[in-house]
Amino acid sequence: MGSYLPDAVRDHAARRPDAPAVTEDGRTVGYAELDARSNRLAQALLGRGLPPGARVGVLARPGVLTAELLLACAKARLVATPLNWRLAEPELAAVARDAEFAAVITQEEFLPGARAIRAVLPKAPVVVDGPPGSDELGYEALLAAASDRDPGGGGAGEADTVCLQLYTSGTTGQPKGVRITLGNLDAGEHIVRELGWDQHAVSMNAMPFFHIAGAGWLVQALVAGAHTVTVPDLVPQRVVELIERRRISHAFFVPAVLHMLTSLPDIAARDFSALRLIAYGASPITPVLLRRSMEVFGCGFLQIYGQTETAGSATRLLPEDHDPDGPRAHLLRSAGNTRPDVEVRVADPLTGEPLPTGAVGEICTRSHYLTPGYWRRPEENARLFTVDGWLRTGDAGYLDEEGYLFITDRIKDMVITGGENVYPVEVEAALAEHPAVLDVAVFGTPDERWGEAVTAAVVLRPEAGEVSPAELIAFTRERIASYKKPRIVLFLEELPRNPTGKILKRVLRERYAEA
C-alpha cells in the first residue's frame, strides 16, 4: 500500500512544487498549484454546507477541472460523482435523483444537462466553468473567494473513505452508483512496478472521467508524481500528435481507439520512441488489431481485465506475455493472470462452488480493490458478493494450468462497444416505443473497430408497412445516448425462444456474428 491520492499530491507539492501535474490543451498546472486550487475548491464546497459523504456531480471532459474536483472531494471527505455527458437529459436527471447531488459542477458546454439536473434537485447549486447564468455560480470566482487551507482529509487511515462514485447499469438497465474508496484506488507496489510509474513518466489520459479507466489512470499518475496530458476531445490525429510532441511514455486506450489510431494513413511515419507502455482493456480486442498495434507503436503492451466494481483490474497480461510469434502466443487470447494482492477463481454460477482448471464458470475475484458496494442497493449488493467476500463479475471463463484467465462469454447480456457498457434492455425499451415494432432483442456482434456493435433483431407489426434500419436508429437517438443506439438492425420473421418463451440471445449472437 502506498500513499493515498491527497497525501501523495501534498508530498509532491512540498518537494516538487513546479513539477507539471496536469496539462489540458495549452494550460499546465504544477503540483503546488493543483494542491492549492483543490484546497480552495474543497473549502468552497464545505462553505456551501455540504456534509461529509455528500455527492458532488460533475459534467466535464478530462482535464484540470476533473483532477481538481477528485482531489478536492477526497480532501473534504465528499464524493466526486462524474456523469457521462453523452446521456440524454432524462437519463442525467435519473442519476442525479439517485445520487441526491448536493452540488453540480459543469463546463459551459454541458450547462443544459446541469440545468436539467437542477430542475429535479432545485436545492443543489450549479457551478459552471465559464460565464454563469443568473442562477449559477462561476467556478473561478468560487475558488478565488475561498481559503486555500487544506481541509486535511484523505490521509493515512482513511482507506475506507468513499471518494468516488461511478454510475453503471445492471441487468435491469437501472443506473447504479458504484462506490470507490481511497483504498480501492491505491495502486500498490505491484501495479507501480508493472506499469513502470515514476516521476519522469508522461501519461496520456484519453479516457473520460466517468469511466474507471479514466479516473483510475489519473489517480495512478498523480500518486506517482507523473505529468498527465489530458485529451478532452478524442480526435485520432490530435492524439498521435500529442504522443509525439509531449513525449508520452504511458497511455491507456480501449481497443476502439487503437483501431482508429492504427488506421491513420501516416501512422507509420510517426515518432513513438518515448512510449514505454500502452495499457488496454474495457472491451474485447481482436488478435489482428493487437498485433498491428504492437507493430505500430513498438512499446510494451499490458492488458487489463476488470470492471468498475473492481476499481479497474482483476487480472493483467504483462508485456512479457505479449509474444505473438513465440511458443506462448496463445496467451494473447487470455486476460492474463493475477497480481499477488488479487485472487481470482471460477465458480459454478448456481452453487458458487469453485470449479476445476479448464472448466467454464463465473469469474469471481477478491482483493482490496473491490467496491464496498452499490449506493443504496442492499439487495443487489447481496447478489454481487458471496458470503466470504468474493465479487461475482457476471463474466464466464476458465483458468488454465498456469493460472491464466480466458474469458469465453458474459453471463450478463451487456454489450461493450468502444469501451462503453450498453445494456440491451435500455435499447430494447427505446425501440419498442416505435409504433412499427412488435418484438425486439438487442445483443452484441463482433466489430473490429468498436469491439462489439450494438445489434437489434426486430420483428415488425404486420400492418407496419415499409420501415428502414436508418429510421429505427434515428428513432432511438431521441430517447437514449447516441453510443447506445444500434449500429445494425436486422429484420426477422420471429425471434428464437426457448419453451418458456425466453429469447435466446446466444442463438442470435452466434447466428449473426458476421452481421
State the amino acid at position 444 in one-letter form. Answer: G
CA dist., res. 327 & res. 323, Å (int)? 8
Span between the terminal Cα atoms of the chain, in Å: 47
Q: Where do we find the cell 428464437?
A: 496
Helix, strand, coil share of the chain (percent; to 5): 35, 25, 40
Residues recorded for the chain? 515
Residue range(s) of every CATH 2.30.38.10 domain in the chain: 308-410
DSSP labels, 318-386: -GGG--TTSTTGGGGGS--B--TTEEEEEE-TTT--B--TT--EEEEEEETTS-S-BTT-HHHHHHHB-
Residue range(s) of every CATH 3.30.300.30 domain in the chain: 415-511
Range of weakest confidence among 210-219, 316-325, 442-451: 442-451
3-state secondary structure 62-96: CCHHHHHHHHHHHHHCCEEEECCCCCCHHHHHHHH
For 129-157, write each residue's pLDDT tens digit: 999 999 999 999 999 999 999 999 999 89
Q: Which of 27-31, 86-90, 113-117, 365-369 has the lowest mean pLDDT?
A: 86-90
In the numeric block, the cell 454489450 is attached to: 415
- Provide CB contacts within 8 A for 334, sequence distance 6+: 317, 400, 404, 405, 406
Comparing CA positions, the residue from 83, 74, 68, 54 lying closest to residue 143 is 68
- The model carries a pTM of 0.85
- Report residue 432's pLDDT band, with 50, 70 and 90 as the boundaries: confident
CA separation for the pair 341, 366 (Å, rounded): 9
Q: What is the mean pLDDT of residues 162-170?
A: 87
Q: How confident is the model at residue 170 (pLDDT cuts 50, 70, 90)?
A: very low
**Beta-bridge partners for 80:** 56, 164
Low-confidence winner among 104-108, 276-280, 500-504 (lowest mean pLDDT): 500-504
C-alpha cell at 457: 433483431
Q: Answer yes or no: are the C-beta atoms of 317 and 331 closer than 8 Å.
A: yes
Quick one: pLDDT at residue 343?
A: 97
Task: Give the pLDDT of residue 379.
Answer: 94
Going by the DSSP 8-state scheme, the letter that residue 465 receives in this structure is -
From the options 3.40.50.12780, 3.90.550.10, 3.30.1490.20, 3.40.50.2300, give the CATH code of 5-233.
3.40.50.12780
- State how far the Cα of 293 lies from the Cα of 253, in Å rounded to an integer: 11
Say how far residue 273 (Cα) sits from the centre of its chain: 28
Question: HSE of 402 in the Cβ direction (CA atoms, 13 Å)?
Answer: 11
- List the strands of the sheet with 55-59, edge to edge: 137-138, 126-129, 103-107, 55-59, 79-82, 162-169, 175-181
Spatial contact of 179 and 371, defined as CB atoms under 8 Å apart: yes
Q: 439 to each of 64, 211, 469, 491, how far by Cα in Å?
A: 46, 32, 15, 10
Q: What is the pLDDT of residues 57-91, one digit of tens each?
A: 999 999 999 999 999 999 999 999 999 998 989 99
For the chain, the average pLDDT equals 93
Quickly tell me which residue has 487480472 as its cell.
Answer: 315
Q: What is the pLDDT of residue 2?
A: 59
**C-beta of residue 512 within 8 angstroms of C-beta of residue 492:** no
CA distance 191 to 208: 21
Summarised one tens digit per residue, pLDDT across range 317-362 is 999 999 999 999 999 989 999 999 999 999 998 899 999 999 989 9
**pLDDT score for 501:** 57
Mean pLDDT of 265-284: 93
Q: Find out whether 393 and 384 touch, Cβ atoms under 8 Å.
A: no
Beta carbons of 289 and 448 less than 8 angstroms apart: yes
What H or E segment, with its residue span, contains residue 393? strand 391-399
Query: What are the start-end ranges of the E strands in 171-324?
Result: 175-181, 202-205, 227-230, 250-253, 277-281, 300-305, 315-317
Closest to 285 in 3D by CA, of 335, 251, 327, 240: 335
In the chain, DSSP finds a helix count (H) and a strand count (E) of: 15, 24
Cα distances (angstroms) measured from residue 312 to each of 183, 186, 219, 281:
13, 11, 12, 9
Instruction: For the domain made up of 308-410, give the CATH fold.
Output: Luciferase; domain 3 (2.30.38)
Q: What is the homologous superfamily of the domain 415-511 according to CATH?
A: ANL, C-terminal domain (3.30.300.30)
Sorting pLDDT into bands at 50, 70 and 90, what band is 171? very low
> What pLDDT, in 10s, does the model give residues 216-263?
999 999 999 999 999 999 999 999 999 999 999 999 998 889 988 999
Query: CATH 3.40.50.12780 in the chain, residues?
Result: 5-233
Cell of residue 422, nine digits: 450498453
β-bridge mates for residue 175, sequence order: 169
